[in-house]
Amino acid sequence: MDILSIQQQAEKEIKGANDLKELNLVFEKYLGRKGEISKFFRSLKDLPLEQRKIQGKKANQVKEVLEKKIQEKRTILSKKPFQEIKRAELDVTQPGERINLGHLSILTYAKREVIDFFKSIGFEIIESPEVETEYYNFDALNIPDYHPARDSMDTFWLKNKEKSKDKFLLRTHTSPSQIRYMEKHKPPFRVITPGRVFRYEAIDASHEAQFYQVEGLAVSKDIGLANLRYVLENFLKYFFGREVNLRWRPGYFPFVEPGLEVDIECQVCQGKGCPTCKYAGFIELAGAGMVHPNVLKNGGINPYKWQGFAFGLGLDRLVMMRHNINDIRLFHSGDLRFMSQF
Ligand SMILES: [Zn+2]
């Protein structure tokens, strides 16, 4: 067969191929190792040199053309329309593949619940910087640098790049927001500051280097501890959806007087004692009290005219208690088995 007849025949068959399988057969028949083109090349060996050159060149051109045509056809066949898929291969009743959607962290959900509650009873939601100065984090809150209470809040101090009077740190509590707010607002007011705080401390099941607090501050002429108790008890009832056992005891914080510590019955062990509550049956949930007159003064408010309560709630612990989470480290572990439960 001469090379042009081979080309014509091959092109016809490429055109006629109905699927990839048929096309592959055409490929083998003409371009395969034992195909027509190879056969043609082999038949040239008996021709005179000149003839061989001319015929060989032609055959190479045909080979290229056929290769291109087969490639084009292959592209067309592999995009065969959907409706041509045989009925038996398509089961429209089969369930689709489930797509995993991300969601908010349980801590973010909880923070929003807290905000909803306090908004509903007339509190304003405020924010305050995570990087603070020594003044706002300590001095203005009645914790001068000789005060032993500073030791109880192991602090991440920041290196100053430029020479500055202020010493910077990562806030160890949300309380600096009290001073910042009081400096700019006149009482009466009620505010909460939900936010992250940082402590340079040994990490264990109930301690993390960063956690969330909700700071509360209410200042008016006749606010007292009874109001504080009412607000906190109602908040916890809302958050847990039921009554929870609380323990109120005197506590010392330099920025309140008198000061209270609020403990919640450990919900992991129902008060029986477990590693999460360090076998105490109760877990510290909040520090609270009546705002110390020095703090009011530092915020520019006359302590002879105004008084108020303040509290700092541990949000992570609240969530741990509500969901029976026994290890605070899980929140930032990035473990999807944990995160996707909520
Ligand atoms: Zn416990």
CA of 247 to the centre of ligand 1 (A): 14
CA of 289 to the centre of ligand 1 (A): 26
CA of 187 to the centre of ligand 1 (A): 40
Number of domains, the chain: 2
CA of 259 to the centre of ligand 1 (A): 25
Position 334 in a domain: yes
Within this chain, do residues 52 and 157 fall inside the same structural domain, yes or no? no
Name the strand (E) or helix (H) holding 239: helix 225-240
Q: What is the pLDDT of residue 256?
A: 95
Within this chain, do residues 77 and 111 fall inside the same structural domain, yes or no? no
Q: Is the pTM higher than 0.75?
A: no
| Beta bridge partners of residue 262, listed in sequence order | 248, 286
Q: What is the pLDDT of residue 83?
A: 53
Within this chain, do residues 84 and 208 fall inside the same structural domain, yes or no? no
Domain termination residue (choose one: 28, 57, 89): 89
Within this chain, do residues 161 and 310 fall inside the same structural domain, yes or no? yes
Position 327 in a domain: yes
CA of 322 to the centre of ligand 1 (A): 12
Within this chain, do residues 124 and 238 fall inside the same structural domain, yes or no? yes
Q: What is the pLDDT of residue 179?
A: 96
Within this chain, do residues 28 and 169 fall inside the same structural domain, yes or no? no
Q: What is the pLDDT of residue 103?
A: 87
How is the beta sheet containing 189-198 ordered, strand by strand? 124-125, 189-198, 210-220, 307-314, 282-291, 256-265, 246-250
Position 99 in a domain: no
CA of 146 to the centre of ligand 1 (A): 36
CATH code: domain of residue 276: 3.30.930.10
> Which domain covers residue 175, as residue numbers?
106-339
User: Which residue positions in the chain have pLDDT lower than 50?
Assistant: none
Position 263 in a domain: yes
Q: Could you read off the pLDDT of 143-170 as tens digits, one per residue?
A: 988 887 787 778 999 987 777 778 899 9
Within this chain, do residues 147 and 60 fall inside the same structural domain, yes or no? no
Position 98 in a domain: no
Within this chain, do residues 251 and 156 fall inside the same structural domain, yes or no? yes
8 Å CB contact between 197 and 214: no
Domain termination residue (choose one: 58, 89, 120): 89
Position 95 in a domain: no
Residues flanking ion ligand 1, Cβ below 5 Å: 266, 268-269, 274, 276-277
Within this chain, do residues 117 and 246 fall inside the same structural domain, yes or no? yes
- By DSSP bridging, strand 307-314 and strand 131-133 are unpaired
Position 241 in a domain: yes
CA of 245 to the centre of ligand 1 (A): 13
Q: What is the pLDDT of residue 85?
A: 61
Position 329 in a domain: yes
Provide the 3-class DSSP secondary structure of residue 98. coil
Q: What is the pLDDT of residue 300?
A: 96
Catalogue the E-assigned strands of the chain.
Answer: 124-125, 131-133, 168-170, 189-198, 210-220, 246-250, 256-265, 282-291, 307-314
8 Å CB contact between 183 and 141: no
CA of 209 to the centre of ligand 1 (A): 21
CA distances from 272 to 156, 208, 240, 280, 329 (A): 35, 24, 19, 8, 22
CA of 332 to the centre of ligand 1 (A): 21
